[in-house]
Chain A
Amino acid sequence: MLSPLRRTIAYVFRRPFTVMIPRETLELPDGYRGIHEINTDTCIGCGLCGKICPNKAIDYVFPEGKNPYDPKNFRLRRPAIDLGHCMFCALCEEVCPTNSIKLTKEFQLYGKKRIDLIRLPYELESRKEKRKEYSRDERAKMLISTELISRISPEVKQIEEKWRKVTISYYNGEISEEEYKSAIAKIESEYLEKLREVGIL
C-alpha cells in the first residue's frame, strides 16, 4: 500500500504535463489534416474530389454569370466544401490530379449558423491575397446551384428546382434578361427567407 502512495505523491513535485491552451500552443506536425485550402487557378474542375468524398461534403459552384448547366463551363466549377459534414479523411487531397486541394494545419472551426461551416472555394483560396470574403447571404446565393444546402434541409429543394428552371430557360433564350433578373431576385429572397426559417442562415 505504501508504494502506490509514494508514487502518487511524487507527482506533486513534478511539472504538470498539461498545456495551457490557448496561452501555450502545441505545434502541429506537417501533414496535419485540418481545414482545406484550394488553389482555384490550378484547379481544373475535374470533379474527382466530389466523387471520392465519402460524406458527399463537396459540391461545385460556378463563377457568377456563368451557366452552371452548360457542359462547356464544367471546367470552371470549383469545389465548395461543407466542413460540417467533412470528416477530414484527406481522400480529396489524394485524388486531386493537380494538387489544388490541400488540407492545412488550421483546425479551428466555429460558426453560429450552419451556413458558416459551408465554405466557398474562393474563401478557401490557398493564396491568402486572393482570398475573398462572403457574407452569409451571398454565400447562400452562391450555393443555390449545389446540393449542399438541400441535403441539410430538404425543404429548400423546391426553391432550388425553381431557380434551376429559370436559369436554364434564360440561357436557352426563352426569357429576357430583365425577366430573368426579376425572377431570380424573387426566388433568391424566398430562398433566403426559407433558410432563415429553418435556421441555416
Chain B
Amino acid sequence: MKEEELLSERGKEVKLEISPEEIRSLSSKLLKERHQFLGITAVDFPRENKIELIYHFASLEDSTFIWARLELNRESPEVPTISDIYPGADWHEREAYDLFGVIFTGREELKRILLPDDWIGHPLRKDYSGDEYDWQSQTKEFYYPFGTVKEKIKEEDGVFYLHVGPQHPVTHGLWRLQLKVRGDTILEGTPDIGYIHCGIEKLCEGLNYEQIVPLSERICYGSGMSWSMLYVLGVESLLGVEPPERAQYIRTIVLELQRITSHLLWLGAFCPDLGTYHSMLLYAIREREKFLDIFERITGGRLLYNYPRIGGVSRDIDDRTIEKIKETLKDLESHLEEYEDILDKNEFFLVRTKGVGVLRGEEAIRWGLTGPCLRAAGFKYDVRKNSPYLLYADLDFEIPVYKEGDVYSRYRVRIEEMRESSKIINQLIDEIPKGEYRKKVNLRNVEGEIAFRTEDPRGESMVYILAKGGEKPHRVKFRSPAYMNLSALRRMLPGHKVADMAAIVGSIDLCMGEVDR
C-alpha cells in the first residue's frame, strides 16, 4: 500500500491522497502508532463540484505530520466516520456537517454543533447566501436557541438532568453543560456549544491577508498574540518569507510572555472554581496586570495586540521595555513560589484536585487532548520541541511532564511551564540582534496551501490556509485546542461528583471564543 511507504518516512510532512473508504483503516493504524488526531478541515470547491476533507494527524514521538486528503462529491458528500476510533473526531465531524453538509456514516446521530438545530443550509459552502434562515420569524416566538432543551427530557427514577450554564459561574464563557445525575454522581456530561459562534473562518474569506491579522487574535481573549502569530507564521511559510532575525527574537519573546499571561489568567479563574474566596484570582490577576503593562508598552494594546505582521512585527522593542521584562520576570519567580505555598501546601486544594478528572494513556490520545492536559497525562509532546518554529529549535528548555493525568498534574504542568517560559525569555532577551524588525512582503497574488502548527498556551493550535491567487484566501481554518479538550469532558466527567465538575471544567483552561470561533 502506498501509505506504508509514505509512513516509513518519519519526521516529515506527509501528504496522502486516499479514498473515503480508506480513512478508517488509516486512522486505526495511526492510532496504534501513537498519532494524535488534529482535526478535519473541509474545503468547498464549487467549480470542480467537490468537497475536500483533510484529516490531520501528528505523531506524538517525532515531527511527522500527516495530511490525509479525500475528495467527496459536492451533492452527496458521504464518508465513513472515525469517531469510534478517535472519539475526539466526533465534534469535528459534527462541525464539518454543520458548516459544509458532509455526511458521516456509521455513527450516531449527526447533529449541528455551532449553529442552531433548525438552521437551514451550510454556511461555509461558497454558494451559501444566508437568506434561507429567517431570523425575524424565529425570534418572535419563544426561541430555544441551541441544542436539546427543546426535547422533553424523560427523567427516570433517581436520575435527573442538571443544566449548567449558559450563565453559570463555572462555565467561564457562554456554553451549556447538560449533566445526567444520579444522586450526587454524574452519569453523563454533554457540553453544548455554539453560543458565541461568530463565523471567523467565514469572515476570513472576505478579508485580505493583512486584515485577517487583527481578526485572528479575536479568537481567544486569553491569548490573542498566539493566534495572530499562528496565522502570520502560516502565511509566511506559505509565501516562503524569511522575516528579519530581530523580528524572530521579538516574536518568540512575546509569545512566551503571552503564555505566562494566559496561564496566570487560568490560575486566577481556576481557584475560585474550587471555592477559595477569590484570593488566588486577585493574586494571579495582579501578576498578569504587570505583563499586560509590558504588552501595552510593546504593542499599544493590553488585550488585543495586533502586533505580528506578515514579514515581521509592527513595532520595535526598546531598551526600557527589555529592562521592564527582566524585572517582571524576576518578580514572577518569587510570586510563583508564593502560589505554590498557597496551593501545594494547602491540604484542601490537594484533596480537591488529586485523582480528579483523570484522563491518561491511550484514552488521552483518542480524545485528542493536547497541550498541558496531554503533558499532564504523561506524554512528552510539545510542538515547540517536536516540530520547532521560530527560534525554539536552538533554545534550552524542558517540557514538564506528569503521569497522573488528573487536575492536580494539569495545574503543576502550567506552573512549571511559566517557569520554562521565563527561562526562554531570559535566554533571548539579552541577545536580540540589531537590525530591521519588519520586511515588506508582496501579498498581491498568493497561491498554495499550508497547515501550520504552534503550541498555544491551551494546546496545539493549527491554521490551515488555502490560497488560490488574488488578495483573499479561499479557505482559512483554525484548529482550536480548547475545542477538543472541551469535548473530552464527556470522558472525564462520568463517575465524579457534581462538585468535581467545577474542578474538571476549570482544569482544561477553556476559552469559549476559541471553541466557538
A and B touch in the complex (CB under 8 A): yes
Q: Which residue of B lies closest to A88 (CB)?
A: B301
A76, B349: Cα distance in complex, Å: 66
Per-residue CB contact flags for chain A residues 1-22 toward chain B (1 = under 8 Å, else 0) read 1011001100000000100000
Cα A33 to Cα B299 with chains together (Å): 8
Q: Are B214 and A1 in touch, CB under 8 angstroms? A: no
Tally of A interface residues using CB under 8 Å: 20
Q: How many angstroms between the C-alpha atoms of A96 and B286 in the bound complex?
A: 37
Q: How far is the CA of A7 from the CA of B342 in the complex (A)?
A: 7
Contact of A7 among B301, B306, B341, B348 (CB under 8 A): B341
Nearest Cβ on chain A to B270's Cβ, whole angstroms: 16
Q: Which residues of A contact B299 (CB under 8 A)?
A: 31
A192 sits at the interface (CB 8 A):
no
Q: Beyond A7-B341, A54-B207, is A29–B297 a contact (Cβ under 8 Å)?
A: yes
The residue in chain B whose Cβ has the minimal distance to the Cβ of A33 is B300
- Whether the pair B211, A91 counts as a contact (CB closer than 8 A) is yes
B315 at the interface (CB under 8 A from A): yes
Contact A8 B300 (CB under 8 A): no
Contact A8 B342 (CB under 8 A): yes
Tell whether, in the assembled complex, residue A31 and residue B342 are in contact, meaning their CB atoms are under 8 Å apart.
Answer: no
Q: Is A90 an interface residue (CB 8 A)?
A: yes
Interface string of A81-97 (1 = CB under 8 A from B): 00000011111001000
A28 at the interface (CB under 8 A from B): yes
A4–B211 CB distance below 8 A: no
Distance to closest chain B CB from A47 (angstroms): 15
State whether A54 and B279 are in contact (beta carbons under 8 Å apart), knowing that A4-B346, A91-B306 are contacts in the complex.
no
Beta-carbon contact of B210 and A87 below 8 Å: no
Scoring B residues 1 to 18 as 1 if CB is less than 8 Å from chain A, else 0, what string do you get? 000000000000000000
User: B306 contacts which chain A residues (CB < 8 A)?
Assistant: 33, 89-91
B211 pairs with A28, CB closer than 8 A: no
CB within 8 Å: A-B pair count: 58
In the assembled complex, the Cα of A42 lies from the Cα of B422 at a distance in Å of 45
Are B314 and A94 closer than 8 Å at their CB atoms? yes
In the complex, whether A200 has a CB less than 8 A from a CB of chain B is no
CA–CA, A33 to B348, complex, Å?
Answer: 44
How many angstroms between the C-alpha atoms of A52 and B304 in the bound complex? 18
B-contact bits for A62-79, CB 8 A (1 contact / 0 none): 000000000000000000
Indicate with 1 or 0, residue by residue over B313-337, a CB within 8 angstroms of chain A CB atoms.
Answer: 0110000000000000000000000
Quick check: A91 and B214 within 8 Å, CB to CB? Answer: yes
- The answer to whether B300 and A4 touch across the interface, beta carbons within 8 angstroms, is no
Cross-chain contact A1 with B348 (CB below 8 angstroms): yes
Whether, in the assembled complex, A117 has its beta carbon less than 8 Å from a beta carbon of chain B, the answer is: no
**Residue of B207, B301, B345 touching A33 (CB-CB under 8 A):** B301
Question: Does A134 make an interface contact (CB < 8 A)?
Answer: no
CB distance from A150 to the nearest CB of B (A): 19
Q: Contact at B300–A90, with CB atoms within 8 Å?
A: yes
Min CB distance A36 to B, Å, is 13
Q: Does A103 contact B (CB under 8 A)?
A: yes
Contact between chains at A4 and B314 (CB < 8 Å) = no
Bound-state Cα–Cα, A7 to B282, Å: 14
Residues of B close to A33: CB separation below 8 A: 300-301, 306
Q: Is the CB of B345 within 8 A of A1?
A: yes
21 cross-chain CB contacts under 8 A = A1-B345, A1-B347, A3-B341, A3-B346, A4-B341, A4-B343, A7-B338, A7-B341, A7-B342, A8-B342, A29-B297, A31-B300, A52-B210, A54-B207, A54-B211, A54-B212, A54-B214, A88-B301, A89-B304, A91-B210, A91-B211
- Measured CB to CB, the residues of B under 8 A from A are 207, 210-215, 279, 286, 289, 296-297, 299-301, 304, 306, 314-315, 338, 341-343, 345-348
Closest A-B pairs by Cβ, 5 of them = A89-B214, A54-B211, A33-B300, A4-B342, A89-B306
Give me 17 other A-B pairs in contact (C-beta within 8 A), A17-B286, A91-B210, A91-B211 excluded.
Answer: A3-B341, A4-B343, A7-B342, A28-B296, A29-B297, A31-B297, A31-B299, A33-B300, A33-B301, A52-B211, A54-B207, A54-B214, A88-B301, A89-B306, A90-B300, A91-B306, A94-B314
